[in-house]
A = this chain, B = another copy of it.
Amino acid sequence: MRTSQFPLSTVKETPADAEIISHRLMLRAGLIRKLAAGLYTWLPLGLRVLRNVERIVREEMNRAGALEVLMPAVQPAELWQESGRWEQYGPELLRLRDRHQREFCFGPTHEEIITDLARNELRSYKQLPVNFYQIQTKFRDEVRPRFGVMRAREFIMKDAYSFHLDRASLEQTYSEMYATYSRIFQRCGLAFRAVAADTGSIGGSASHEFHVLADSGEDAIAFASGSDYAANVELAEAIASCNAPPAAIETARLVNTPNAKTIAELVTQFNQPIERTIKTLVVAAPVTDANPSGLIALLVRGDHELNIVKASKCEGVASPLRMANEEEIRAAIGAGPGSLGPKDLPIPCIADRSVAVIADFSAGANQDGYHWFGLNWGRDLSLPPIADLRNVINGDPSPDGCGTLTIARGIEVGHIFQLGQKYSRALNTVVLDENGKAVILTMGCYGIGVSRVVAAAIEQNYDERGICWPVSIAPFTVALLPMKWNKSYRVREAAELLYEQLRTAGIDVLLDDRDARPGVMFADMELIGIPHRVVMSDKHLDAGQVEYQGRRDAAAQMMAVDAIVPFLTQQLTKALAV
């Protein structure tokens, strides 16, 4: 392609309302334009990237034996009423009425539609398992659409739905989809992690999110140094770094700490090591004979954070979790929140696993302005019940025993679910098994935010000059920049020849025949992120050479004209090998 026939829409200004780098770069590089809040037009350059992602997704879904279909975007309310989601779904569901006042929605997802198709098409266990997918336009009426296509209202999604006679079959397809998703993101050239996830409101029992790792990610995920283990920080199990506390050295002593109401103050004013301090957090509890106070204390190390999800699941904690206020705390304990601790505490408490294995620790004395220092379990106070109460942190042992955990930020681009029978039961979707008995189908579902992958790829691959596309999804893989296009017949002739040679070699090359200033051409090609750049000029040609620079290279290098096609072919082949 030539820039004369494929005009670039790059802009210099950084768009004012773009908060994250991918949004800014997609606008500046001319990949998308905003039509209205959360609605974007894909310009030719952006669409090439989107189509590349689609192609990879389609190839890998087909390879996995999934069957591509295309369902309508507009869905009748009746099916959503049948599943119960017409009522459950909030205002994110864009509801509409047709000219006959019948109710529909612009589908944010297609479980109801595919399940209805399955109940009409599937009759026998012989048709199972089967996995249908589509690449299609969805709408979610986000209350605050932002970050460009990262959180748009209208977006492109690959959604797949598998049907099974039993859970063993579901688990097999689920594991194939896990492998397929891994291949897809690998082929897209992305650093990613599959993360064990909560199944949330969609229902079902097992689920993994696929996250592209990027500092701007909205989700914190923990992954192991020595294995594939990865989990959303909310779900990652926290293990204590040892099995028992070390031997006690200090003696317990009550210290007047009038100005230490926080862990930070305690550590600073009294030189206490933070990992030997205890935070005592009081939450609401159901009132029972055993615990008439209506409160329960949760103990975590001073350098740890309470994990709300985990704490909510503890026995004796009110659900949903609610922090006690100072009035409640004073009434039950006789001290303020800054002076609480497990010794002589008049309400029940639960200790985090890490709290149970420290010695010579300090904690509030349940008396305003006083802390105990040098406390030891067993000797000075009894060990309360133990639970996993905290968020994991960098360096924690991995719960699978393989190395330590690293916390990173991720952008969710894929999600696979073992749905079970939530929808097939609601829609009474059955087949006959080998014995002629009607069996409710078991389902899985598998989504990829195709348009979001484009934005996530940028969040992971950019520098101060613009986007650095992975080769497999780049809009073009080679930029060919001839200097003085209109003035030098020789450069022009050589560029045309190389252009044809590159095209013949199957390389997606963009020839910049605008006759623009070198600075403009260089800046544009760097901004739009073409992985390889070849510059041709009279001076270079005098030496029988071209100038080559990879998008991430620090400097250009000279290369013989004859060597450039084989070199690029080799580079691209290497980059695309998975």
| A interface residue numbers (CB < 8 A to B) | 5-7, 9, 33, 35-36, 39-44, 47, 50, 65, 67-76, 91-92, 94, 96, 98-99, 104, 106, 113, 116-117, 120-121, 127, 130, 132, 137, 139, 141, 143, 153-154
Which 9 residue pairs spanning A and B have beta carbons closest together?
A42-B70, A96-B96, A91-B99, A39-B72, A44-B67, A36-B76, A41-B71, A72-B154, A99-B141
Contact of A73 among B47, B104, B137 (CB under 8 A): B137
On chain B, the residues within 8 Å of A70 by CB distance are 41-42, 47, 50
Q: A91-B99, A96-B94, A141-B98 are in contact. Are A44 and B65 (CB under 8 A)?
A: no
Contact in complex: B39, A74 (CB < 8 Å): yes
CB-based contact B47/A68 at 8 Å: yes
Query: Which of B6, B65, B117 contacts A5 (CB under 8 A)?
Result: B65
Task: Give every chain B residue within 8 A of A127 (Cβ-Cβ).
Answer: 7
Residue of B nearest to A116 (CB): B35
Q: Report whether A35 and B75 are in contact in the complex, using a CB–CB cutoff of 8 Å.
A: yes
- CB pair A69–B41 under 8 Å, yes or no, is yes
Per the bound structure, the CA–CA distance linking A544 and B48 in Å amounts to 49
User: In whole angstroms, what is the CA distance A525 to B198 when docked?
Assistant: 46
Q: Smallest CB-CB separation from A58: which chain B residue?
A: B51
Query: How many angstroms between the C-alpha atoms of A43 and B130 in the bound complex?
Result: 13
Please name all residues of chain B whose beta carbon is closer than 8 Å to the beta carbon of A137 when the two chains form the complex.
Answer: 73, 137
25 A-B pairs with CB atoms under 8 Å apart are A6-B67, A7-B127, A9-B121, A33-B120, A35-B72, A35-B113, A36-B104, A39-B75, A39-B76, A41-B72, A41-B117, A42-B69, A43-B69, A44-B132, A47-B68, A73-B73, A73-B106, A73-B139, A74-B106, A74-B139, A74-B153, A92-B99, A94-B99, A98-B141, A106-B106
Bound: A153/B104 CA distance, A: 13
Chain B residues with CB under 8 Å of A43's CB are 69
Q: Determine the chain B residues whose CB is within 8 A of the CB of A153 once the complex forms.
A: 74, 98
B141, A76: Cβ atoms closer than 8 Å: no
B residues within 8 A CB of A47?
68-70
The complex places the Cα of A113 from the Cα of B34 at a distance, in Å, of 11
